Amino acid sequence: MTNWIILIVAGFFESCFAFCLGKMKGVVGLEYYFWGIGFLACLALSMILLAKAIQTIPIGTAYPVWTGIGAVGTVIVGIVFFHEPATFGRLFFVTTLIASIIGLKMV
């Protein structure tokens, strides 16, 4: 059970590094490098936690769950922080992605 929690946290860090990338897009100078350091830190933490989680979770399950959490989280980050559109289509497919992640966990 612990490695599932670690995997979920790793997926959240994947969304965090995408957030940092989004922030890097609109800044220059020193702030750009600060967000770049945040990106690298979140990337490293995400990968390290994923590597820890796959010690007991099969990679064929862990990797899709990790990327799914990151994808869903990144869509939410885009909508909330970067004012990307929350269209019916985007929300529908994010919902199907969540259902697929749950399905992988169940099987």
pTM of the predicted protein model:
0.88
Task: State residue 63's pLDDT score.
Answer: 93
pLDDT at 106: 83
pLDDT at residue 59 in the model: 95
Amino acid residing at 31: E
- Give me the pLDDT at residue 89, please: 94
pLDDT at 104: 79
10-residue stretch averages of pLDDT, the chain, 107 residues long: 95 96 94 98 98 95 92 95 95 92 82
pLDDT for residue 34: 98
3-state secondary structure of 46: helix
DSSP 83: -
CA torsion 95-100-66-75 (nearest 10°) is -20
